[in-house]
């Protein structure tokens, strides 16, 4: 029996460290903006959106996903066996009550996460999903809804009561998504979906703080339960030895499992904290490279767009100049072979398209600078998380074992690529 309790204590220890690791992953990943979602682990907060939403089966609300079930209450007389006072087996009739699910279903769809900077596509396949309650009512046979969404057939012993329940996420719900971002195969944009490297993939109406607080509570609860089981293991071992054992040996049996548990907890916690710090440090390196990627994108994209626009502008200028010259010839009577055609055309200049191209270039410039700004902010957030971990007790002692050094916040001097010059 003591061995079983010791095994339970070890299992509680693993659960405790597992929840603490998940909590740290949530806390150490900055929340990104939609426009600033880059490849890798990402957290995003925003409103869910779907152009053609699903319709909830019971609630009839526009949703991105929903699950529903209908249960029917029953009362039955059933036969059961029992043993009487004389040890003889007998049977008797008893009344039992219960609920049977008579119908269920649901649908899920990919959706967009929207914030003030843009949209990001989310594929919920493989995610841990938490939903809101959209519909939860009970009806009797006299209610119209009883058969409107339910089945016409009744279960055996039905009492004429049905429970209708639906959970889902309605369009426009504020969500928190934590997963791994990758490139979409159809367009140049990011998406969040299940991948082999994904640490946590969760879609929930709860906030990051609520998830973190829940993980911290689970860490402490399972840790205390594990310690209690370790104490119970020692107490049980000392009790088995009986009164013949010395008092010192009974104390040893009582406290040795607790000391062993605390030692295992300390080793496991140190290992978990070290891996957490390494993960945060790697995220800093990745965030630093993302800034350079965005700067390189600006250095290569903007000059090409500007060159295309300049060529288009010069083409329009040449066309307008040629038309003006031909019209001047028409007015002086020296028009050549094109005179009949020009005179047949309505007297107006062709519609200019360069302004639309300038507007498009301006949009690209604004979006590019926003991407760079978001990448810089993301890097600085990662650095702040990392440096805070290095200073926080007791993490700082684990970091001191391998001499982890703080990272510097982003500085443009000596790093920023040359800003492309636009001349027309």
Spell out the per-residue pLDDT of the chain, length 424, in tens.
667 878 888 899 999 999 998 998 888 888 888 887 777 888 999 999 999 999 999 999 999 999 999 999 999 888 888 787 777 888 888 888 899 998 899 999 999 999 888 899 999 999 999 999 999 999 988 888 888 776 777 788 888 899 999 999 999 999 999 998 888 877 767 899 998 878 889 999 999 999 999 999 999 999 999 888 888 876 665 555 555 556 666 666 667 888 888 899 999 988 888 888 888 888 888 777 777 767 776 666 666 666 666 655 665 666 666 666 766 666 665 555 555 555 444 445 555 555 555 566 566 666 676 777 777 777 787 888 788 888 888 888 888 877 788 888 776 555 555 555 545 4
Could you give the CA distance from residue 349 to residue 331 in angstroms, rounded to a whole number? 16
pLDDT at 129 (0 to 100): 95
DSSP summary character for residue 113? E
Strands (DSSP E) found in 144-233: 158-170, 174-183, 190-193, 202-204
Backbone angles phi, psi at 55, to 5 degrees: -110, 120
Any residues with CB less than 8 A from the CB of 269 and at least 6 apart, and which? 17, 20
pLDDT at 69 (0 to 100): 93
Long-range Cβ contact pairs of 288-291 (< 8 A, separation 24 or more):
288/379, 288/410, 290/38, 290/375, 290/378, 290/379, 291/372, 291/375, 291/376, 291/379, 291/410, 291/415
3-state helix, strand, coil in the chain (%, to 5): 50, 25, 25
Could you give the CA distance from residue 375 to residue 144 in angstroms, rounded to a whole number? 56
Any residues with CB less than 8 A from the CB of 289 and at least 6 apart, and which? none
- Reference 72, options 103, 41, 47, 49; nearest CA is 103
| CA 321 remoteness from chain centre | 57
DSSP summary character for residue 18? H
- For residue 294, list its beta bridge partners: none
pLDDT at 376 (0 to 100): 78
pLDDT at 238 (0 to 100): 53
Could you give the CA distance from residue 271 to residue 12 in angstroms, rounded to a whole number? 17
CA angle 85, 91, 96 (to 5 degrees): 110
Upper half-sphere CA count for residue 345 (Cβ side, 13 Å):
13
Could you give the CA distance from residue 420 to residue 386 in angstroms, rounded to a whole number? 33
pTM comes to 0.72
């Amino acid at each position: 029996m003591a061995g079983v309790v010791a095994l339970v204590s070890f299992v509680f220890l693993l659960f405790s460290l597992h929840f603490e690791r998940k909590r740290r992953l949530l806390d150490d990943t900055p929340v990104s903006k939609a426009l600033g979602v880059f490849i890798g682990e990402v957290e995003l907060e925003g409103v869910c959106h779907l152009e053609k939403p699903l319709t909830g089966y019971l609630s009839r609300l526009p949703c991105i996903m929903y699950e529903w079930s209908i249960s029917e209450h029953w009362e039955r007389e059933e036969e059961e066996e029992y043993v009487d006072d004389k040890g003889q087996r007998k049977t008797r009739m008893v009344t039992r009550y219960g609920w049977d699910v008579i119908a269920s279903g649901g649908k899920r769809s990919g959706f967009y996460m929207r914030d003030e900077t843009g949209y990001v596509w989310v594929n919920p396949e493989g995610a841990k999903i938490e939903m809101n309650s959209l519909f939860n009512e009970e009806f009797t046979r006299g209610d119209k809804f009883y058969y409107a969404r339910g089945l016409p057939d009744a279960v055996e012993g039905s009492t004429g009561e049905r429970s209708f329940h639906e959970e889902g996420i309605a369009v426009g719900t504020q969500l928190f998504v934590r997963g791994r971002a990758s490139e979409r195969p159809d367009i140049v944009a990011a998406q969040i979906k299940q991948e082999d490297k994904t640490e946590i993939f969760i879609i929930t109406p709860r906030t990051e703080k609520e998830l973190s607080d829940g993980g911290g509570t689970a860490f402490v609860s399972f840790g205390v339960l594990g310690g209690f089981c370790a104490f119970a293991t020692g107490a049980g071992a000392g009790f088995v030895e009986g009164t013949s054992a010395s008092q010192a040996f009974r104390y040893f049996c009582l406290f040795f499992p607790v000391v062993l548990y605390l030692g295992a907890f300390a080793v496991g916690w140190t290992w978990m904290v070290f891996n957490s710090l390494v993960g945060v440090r790697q995220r800093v390196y990745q965030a630093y490279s993302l800034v350079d990627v965005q700067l390189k994108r600006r250095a290569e994209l903007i000059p090409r767009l500007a060159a295309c626009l300049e060529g288009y502008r010069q083409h329009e200028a040449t066309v307008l100049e040629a038309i003006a010259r031909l019209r001047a010839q028409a007015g002086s009577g020296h028009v050549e072979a094109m005179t009949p055609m020009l005179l047949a055309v309505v007297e107006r200049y062709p519609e200019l398209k360069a302004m639309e191209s300038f507007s498009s270039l301006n949009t690209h410039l604004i979006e590019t600078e926003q991407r760079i700004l978001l990448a810089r902010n993301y890097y600085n957030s990662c650095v702040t998380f990392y440096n805070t971990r290095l200073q926080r007790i007791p993490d700082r002692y684990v970091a001191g074992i391998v001499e982890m050094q703080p990272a510097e916040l982003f500085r443009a001097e000596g790093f920023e690529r040359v800003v492309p010059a636009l001349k027309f």
